[in-house]
């Protein structure tokens, strides 16, 4: 059990210190992954950025990811014969949201270039791993040297799924509980992170990186 995302972030940072001497970029999954990502980035003296992707949910169950969309690409992992028109419409709708978030998050800075760098993808926890798998596919197309997934909590089935992909070099998970129902059950405090807080965390990390290159 974690007190909150700050507690989880500090515990993750300890496990990730072995990467401190590498050319690291910390990619947080917005918005819940940002408080953890900010702590890890500070500990590793690495830049913090966000993975601007969003899942495409199955038409009969929006929580079940069949793929993910970025501003430039789309990856389908479990489309299972879903109608192509649905996928096109969802992609357009999701991209509108991502573009709005992009404009909010990158007012005063540019996205990090991850080519030939160690990318640490961080979230506050995962349930199925489907969304993260698709995000990993999108990140891998940018040519990173290494992809590390770091999460506080996930079920064993999701960990196995992540470890089975050749795109991931290492999965670091602090807790792999047997009785997993939802990420929030493993936090004493699990509030929804707002866009405003996410932007503040990114701006603070960016200013810190510029001050201490």
pLDDT at 211 (0 to 100): 54
What does the pLDDT look like over 167-186, one tens digit per residue?
999 999 999 999 999 999 99
What does the pLDDT look like over 107-118, one tens digit per residue?
878 889 999 999
Sheet of 24-28: strands edge to edge? 48-50, 24-28, 118-122, 146-153, 170-175
CA 165, CA 130: separation in Å to the nearest integer? 12
Say if pTM beats, i.e. exceeds, 0.85. yes
The reply to whether omega before 37 is within 30° of 0 (cis) is: no
pLDDT band at 213; cut points 50, 70, 90? low
What does the pLDDT look like over 157-168, one tens digit per residue?
999 999 998 999
CATH of 5-52+112-211, one of 3.40.50.300, 3.40.50.2020, 3.40.640.10, 2.60.120.260: 3.40.50.2020
Domain residue ranges of the chain, discontinuous segments joined by +? 5-52+112-211
pLDDT at 171 (0 to 100): 97
């Amino acid at each position: 059990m974690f007190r909150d995302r700050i507690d989880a972030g500090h515990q993750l940072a300890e496990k990730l210190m072995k990467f401190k001497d590498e050319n690291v970029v910390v990619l947080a999954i917005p918005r819940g992954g940002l408080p953890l990502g900010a702590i890890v980035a500070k500990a590793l003296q690495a830049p913090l950025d966000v993975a601007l992707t969003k899942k495409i949910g199955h038409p009969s169950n929006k929580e079940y990811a069949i793929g993910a969309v970025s501003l430039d690409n789309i990856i389908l992992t479990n489309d299972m014969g879903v109608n192509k028109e649905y996928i096109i419409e969802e992609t357009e709708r999701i991209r509108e949201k991502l573009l709005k978030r992009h404009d909010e998050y990158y007012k005063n800075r540019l996205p990090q270039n991850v080519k030939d760098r160690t990318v640490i993808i961080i979230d506050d926890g995962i349930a199925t791993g489907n969304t993260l798998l698709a995000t990993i596919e999108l990140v891998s197309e940018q040519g990173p040297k290494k992809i590390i997934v770091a999460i506080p909590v996930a079920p064993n089935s999701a960990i196995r799924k992540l470890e089975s992909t050749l795109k991931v070099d290492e999965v670091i998970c602090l807790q792999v509980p047997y009785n997993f129902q939802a990420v929030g059950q493993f936090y004493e405090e699990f509030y929804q992170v707002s866009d405003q807080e996410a932007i503040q965390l990114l701006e603070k990390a960016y200013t810190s990186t510029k001050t201490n290159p």
